[in-house]
Amino acid sequence: MNDLTFLPAVQMAEQIRHRKISPVELVEAHLRKIKKLNPVLNAFVQVDAEGAFRQAREAEVAVRRGAKLGALHGVPVSIKISIEVAGFRCEAGTKLRQGTVASQDAPLVSRLRDAGAIILGTTNTPELLMAWETDNLLYGRTNNPWDLTRTPGGSSGGEAAAIASGMSAAGVGSDGGGSIRVPAHFSGICGLKPTPGRIPATGHFPNSVGPFALIGVVGPMARTVADLKVLFEVMQGPDIGDPSAAPVPVHWPSHAELKGIRIGYFEDDGRTPVTADTRAAVRTAAEALTRAGFQVEPFRPDGLELARQLWWKFFGIAGGMLLGPMTRGHEAELSPILKEFSSWVEAEPSHTGESLLDAWIQRDAIRMQVFAQMRDYPVLLCPVAAIPAFKHGERRWQIDGKTVEYLDAWSYTEWFNLLGTPAAVVPVGQSPEGLPIGVQISARPWEEELVLSVAAELETQCGVWRAPVLEQRFSTL
């Protein structure tokens, strides 16, 4: 692929180290791509061209001087607008925070800078991140680079669209119920939802505290698993601002350790049907991992439906209570998508101390139940969602003669937030419309390295990353 912006991030860094390309050249290529595609995709909401060039020139000088270079030296990246980047707006897609500018970098942003990454800008989200599509009254709707009539997902939809289209080499999203994984699946890229606390969520808005700290995380998004691995290594590590943080050392499993792993896979959860092409993608992934030497067997843990129900008690009901003081009395300033979310929350009683305690106890009990089953199958393989990217404004779909409602289509990601387990997405299949279809790989808490290692094996078996059709059309203009 001749387009510099479609090189994997690790190859960009390698070529910079060997002086085959310069950081300035790379930033110029990304800014040209942003100028061409962002008016159509609306993925970036703020770009600092002057700052990016300044960082690139400094990076180039460091290469010439033979300085010690970080793993991402000179690589242009993007950050979801809900994460603090010094001098950039941090509005989380809501008019209620319009004009809010971060005074400092979130720890993960500082770690990326220390590794040599160049911050291009920040990307779009739904209002207060409460949707699986990206649209708000501040910056408008983000379009999917595979089909402009469809969403790139949410809430990290701007990140996914930017990375898939080559406007950014890689970036950072956040995930409380699929917000990294659904956009990765919809946009044909890779994403990792880590264990809460493995990568610090310090500097994210809404804050990762209370019930949100149990389910919400920040994590890397990129076009290849190798890039995810480097981003994860750079960003991981405890921080005092994340209540879930723990000092977990990085350990990449050996080849022998990997091949001794049993993988359980399932094509659906027995409740929400998935499209035939989604089933086919999971089967393709299972066959590919079998070829790679893993023992792969049909297996679906008991307890996933209860985990889904409990997830809503934390994300929906508790989340609505946490955001309520901010939004109450400002209904006229809220986006239709957030109003819709609020209506779902208001249809159920708010938590009492007793009901929240009960949900918390049930969460711990279901985690123990699922983790006991995972002694036999330490890795799980399953769909990311019931459908590929949907058209803007759609709310229900017909699959196998059954109506799948909006909230149900993403249950395949929600369990893993409730369980607090790491999960990665790798693109594997394609729908009849040419839309990408990813699969999801999960393991037990703090086993990100195992998840990413299995994901890398799957990626190797399934071939190279594909550029979106939209970008291919633009390249002919």
Residue of 155, 335, 411, 442 with catalytic role: 155
Distance from C-alpha of 407 to C-alpha of 156, rounded to nearest angstrom: 17
- Please give the full DSSP string across 226-259, using - where no structure is assigned: HHHHHHHHHH-S--TT-TT---PPP-PPPHHHHH
Distance from C-alpha of 206 to C-alpha of 323, rounded to nearest angstrom: 8
Distance from C-alpha of 198 to C-alpha of 440, rounded to nearest angstrom: 19
Distance from C-alpha of 100 to C-alpha of 110, rounded to nearest angstrom: 19
Q: What are phi and psi of 218, to 5 degrees?
A: -115, 150
Q: Is 179 a catalytic residue?
A: yes
Residue of 22, 33, 78, 80 with catalytic role: 80
Q: What's the token pair of residue 18?
A: 């060997």
Distance from C-alpha of 342 to C-alpha of 340, rounded to nearest angstrom: 5
Q: What's the token pair of residue 372?
A: 């006991």
Distance from C-alpha of 407 to C-alpha of 411, rounded to nearest angstrom: 7
Q: How far apart are the two ends of the chain, measured CA to CA in Å?
A: 17
- SS3 of 459, please? helix
User: With the CA atoms of 276, 282, 285 and 286 taken in that order, what torsion angle do they form, in degrees rounded to the nearest 10?
Assistant: -120
Question: 284: how many CB neighbours lie within 10 A of its CB?
Answer: 17
Q: What are phi and psi of 438, to 5 degrees?
A: -100, 165
Place of tokens 């330490």: 378
Distance from C-alpha of 90 to C-alpha of 207, rounded to nearest angstrom: 12
Q: What are phi and psi of 150, to 5 degrees?
A: -120, 160
Q: What are phi and psi of 424, to 5 degrees?
A: -120, 155
Q: Please, is 99 exposed, middle or buried when counting C-beta atoms within 10 Å of its C-beta (0-12, 13-18, 19+)?
A: exposed
Q: For residue 227, give every residue at least 6 positions away whose Cβ sits within 8 Å of its Cβ, in sequence order, or none.
A: 8, 9, 10, 169, 170, 190, 220
Please count the residues of the chain.
Answer: 477
Q: For residue 470, give every residue at least 6 positions away whose Cβ sits within 8 Å of its Cβ, in sequence order, or none.
A: 40, 145, 146, 147, 148, 165
Residue of 82, 179, 244, 342 with catalytic role: 179
Place of tokens 């209370």: 210
Which residues are 305's β-sheet partners?
none
- Please give the full DSSP string across 186-200, using - where no structure is assigned: HHT-EEEE--BTTB-
Q: What's the token pair of residue 418?
A: 């409730």
Kindly list the catalytic residues.
Answer: 80, 155, 179
